[in-house]
Structure 1
Amino acid sequence: MISTKQLYYALAVEKTLHFKRAAEACNISQSALSTALATLEQQLGFNIFERDNKKVLVTPQGKDVLVRAQRIMAELDELEFIAENQQMPLTYPITIGVIPTIAPFLLPKVFPHLNEQYPAAKLNIVEEQSHVLVEMVRRGEIDTAIIAMPYPCDGLLSMEFWQEDFYWVALKGEQFTDQAEVTSYELSSSHLMLLKEGHCLKDHALAACRLPPQSANHGFGATSLNTLVQMVLGRMGTTLIPEMALKSLIAQNSELSAIHLNEPGPHRRLAFIIRPNYTRMRSIEALVTLLKQSLI
């Protein structure tokens, strides 16, 4: 069987047109190089080189062989490059699903760190609700997803990277807004508005407060946290938002108070979900580290 080593030696002779100099370039003895090339020519059934004591020439058949040998070695170099890069995280594009109650607040914190540490990284973002993303990960339509836990994702691995609590948002001057913390018992008397069914944030908020589903919304069906905050500003009720959304949604609204929910936490945990046999786990581990740095 023809070996890549034989092709490498043949290309060295083509470059130098001298067996001794080719052997030196390949760090082998001249006799070893000559033996390897003689075996190659025997395997091919014709000579690649004409040689005598004064010169070396490439035969017409040899030129064709050497063109193909050059192509083969270039392909092998590319395979080695791919293999080396595969060991490096975020070398290839990766598609990440993110739920709507995380994406607008997490991604602006992450991208500056990502661009600094992995400037060649290419992330494709898909924003969907948790149940959609879980199925997309299972079917291999996306590489991974960031969702809030707990959430049923049987058969998938999860890698947690952040924990946070909820904050009660109300207009300043309302009952309990002068307190440092508020309990679920105190919230039970407020007109609490949460996201519509299908958003896991609603389930997590109700679970943290130990409230039944019918205790929130009262006919409202908001699909974003920003909408809920605007409804609070419109004196339509109060709401609960996660810690990471505070700066974006509350800091610019001097009319609002954000009071920590004094119930056992963390109220939600953020995690990547991945298929157990996913082949680029190094990229996920790199993203976990990056997100932890971004959220500190």
Structure 2
Amino acid sequence: MTPLPTPQQLRYLVALADLGHFGRAAAACAVTQSTLSAGIIALERQLDASILERGPAKRPVFTPLGLELVGRARAALAALSAVAETAAAARDPLTGPLRLGIIPTIGPFLLPRLMPALRKAFPRLRLWLREDLTDRLAEDLQGGRLDLLLLALPAALPDVETLRIAEDPFVAALPQEHRLLDQAQLPLSALGGERLLLLEDGHCLRDQALSACGLPGAGGGETFAATSLHTLVQMVAGGLGVTLLPRLAVAGGVLAGTPVVLRPIETPPGQVMGRTLGLAWRARSPRAPEFRSLAPVIGEAVAAAVARIGATPGAGGGG
């Protein structure tokens, strides 16, 4: 029988692939660099396989087989973690650490309201947060570095289970003295001739705004890209164009101190022009029942925040 790799050897392998540097990988694994290097060499001998290319390159270069083994090592470590998680979840649900990834168009605007609600509902839960774009959070979820994501749906996430939590409608954001401000509500067609300001590529909100306006992925003409919603609002305030903002961001103060004016967007009865917020976790995670029990608390926090700006938001901070 072929001797099986140890979990520690697999951790060395994954850390080296993630960090691309022997010293940083060793520090992440709390061992010396020589210990990590020896562990990788021992794994190669044990498997009778070349995992790394040997040459002058200072950074580790994985062979094709080595890259495949990294993927399998991730899956094996996730399965081992699931064994411990299953026991912990059965023993005492929603206690101890939970690593939550959240996208930047949600985190700053929801967390000040959500964190107190979670502490009250689950006082023994220790929540660790990471804010990043959806693609990178998805990588961390699959790699076992995160347990749960709070993001906008739909999202192209392989081998995950998702749960819809709440709707977050869009409102139009206009500069002061804009020609459309005489209308209490804006038909979507009214925005057709305007310069639409967007977030840069990688933000899911960019694609959702384009979809809401019926524009192609490239933006349908000249556009300007911002790195954050706060920057986007400043661009609108400067008269560069108009944009769509989630009500959650408006309720969270994204307009504070700006002269930007909001107008609701006319939508057909029964339809919501906006985004859907939801949770995502690894398929077959033993903690899935725990994650589902978080949904009502998060949904209530979203609903309470969105309701703050009312049905017809106005100027200067959302009304």
The answer to whether the superposition gives a TM-score over 0.5 is yes
User: For the residues of structure 2 that align with 1:256 and 1:216, how far apart are their CA atoms?
Assistant: 24
* 1:182 and 1:262 in contact (8 A); partners too: yes
State which of 133, 137, 142 in structure 1 corresponds to 2:137: 133
> For residues 216 and 247 of structure 1, do their structure 2 counterparts lie closer, same or farther at Cα, with a shift above 3 Å needed?
farther
Count, aligned residues: 215
User: For the residues of structure 2 that align with 1:147 and 1:83, how far apart are their CA atoms?
Assistant: 28
Q: What SS is found at the alignment partner of 1:172? A: coil
User: For the residues of structure 2 that align with 1:266 and 1:236, how far apart are their CA atoms?
Assistant: 23
User: For the residues of structure 2 that align with 1:277 and 1:132, how far apart are their CA atoms?
Assistant: 21
The residue aligned with 1:267 is: 274
Gapped runs of 5+ residues in structure 2?
A: 1-85, 304-319
The residue aligned with 2:299 is: 292
Query: 1:50-69 counterparts in 2 under 5 A?
Result: none
User: Which deviates further from its counterpart, 91-100 or 169-178?
Assistant: 169-178
Is 1:150 paired with 2:154?
yes
Is 1:207 paired with 2:207?
no
Q: What SS is found at the alignment partner of 1:147? A: strand
Q: CA deviation at 1:267?
A: 2.1
Q: Report the AA paired with residue 193 of structure 2.
A: S
The residue aligned with 1:281 is: 288
Q: What SS is found at the alignment partner of 1:279? A: coil
* 2:175 and 2:238 in contact (8 A); partners too: no
Q: What SS is found at the alignment partner of 2:179? A: coil
* 2:198 and 2:223 in contact (8 A); partners too: no
Q: Which has the larger radius of gyration?
A: 1
The residue aligned with 2:83 is: none
Gapped runs of 5+ residues in structure 1?
A: 1-81
* 1:90 and 1:283 in contact (8 A); partners too: yes
> For residues 114 and 158 of structure 1, do their structure 2 counterparts lie closer, same or farther at Cα, with a shift above 3 Å needed?
same
User: For the residues of structure 2 that align with 1:200 and 1:167, how far apart are their CA atoms?
Assistant: 17
Is 1:160 paired with 2:164?
yes
Q: Report the AA paired with residue 294 of structure 1.
A: A
> For residues 218 and 280 of structure 1, do their structure 2 counterparts lie closer, same or farther at Cα, with a shift above 3 Å needed?
same
Is 1:191 paired with 2:198?
no
Q: Per-residue displacement from partner, 1:20-67 (whole Å, max 9, x unpaired)?
A: xxxxxxxxxxxxxxxxxxxxxxxxxxxxxxxxxxxxxxxxxxxxxxxx
User: For the residues of structure 1 that align with 2:144 and 2:230, how far apart are their CA atoms?
Assistant: 31
User: For the residues of structure 2 that align with 1:235 and 1:216, how far apart are their CA atoms?
Assistant: 20
Q: What SS is found at the alignment partner of 2:104? A: coil
What is the aligned-residue identity percentage? 31
The residue aligned with 2:94 is: 90
Q: CA deviation at 1:120?
A: 2.2
Q: CA deviation at 1:98?
A: 0.6
Q: CA deviation at 1:87?
A: 4.5
User: Which deviates further from its counterpart, 264-273 or 189-198?
Assistant: 264-273
> For residues 85 and 149 of structure 1, do their structure 2 counterparts lie closer, same or farther at Cα, with a shift above 3 Å needed?
closer
State which of 93, 113, 116 in structure 2 corresponds to 1:112: 116
User: For the residues of structure 1 that align with 2:171 and 2:210, how far apart are their CA atoms?
Assistant: 13
* 2:110 and 2:252 in contact (8 A); partners too: no
> For residues 85 and 138 of structure 1, do their structure 2 counterparts lie closer, same or farther at Cα, with a shift above 3 Å needed?
closer
* 1:226 and 1:249 in contact (8 A); partners too: no
Across the aligned residues of Structure 1 and Structure 2, the Cα RMSD in angstroms comes to 2.3
The residue aligned with 1:181 is: 185
User: For the residues of structure 2 that align with 1:127 and 1:83, how far apart are their CA atoms?
Assistant: 28
Q: What SS is found at the alignment partner of 2:252? A: helix
Q: CA deviation at 1:222?
A: 1.0
The residue aligned with 1:40 is: none
User: Which deviates further from its counterpart, 199-208 or 215-224?
Assistant: 215-224
Query: 1:210-221 counterparts in 2 under 5 A?
Result: 210-215=214-219, 218=222, 220-221=224-225
Q: Per-residue displacement from partner, 1:66-122 (whole Å, max 9, x unpaired)?
A: xxxxxxxxxxxxxxxx96874443212010111111111111110111122222211
Q: Report the AA paired with residue 124 of structure 1.
A: W
* 2:148 and 2:279 in contact (8 A); partners too: yes
Q: CA deviation at 1:266?
A: 4.4
User: For the residues of structure 2 that align with 1:216 and 1:255, how far apart are their CA atoms?
Assistant: 27
User: For the residues of structure 2 that align with 1:225 and 1:99, how far apart are their CA atoms?
Assistant: 12
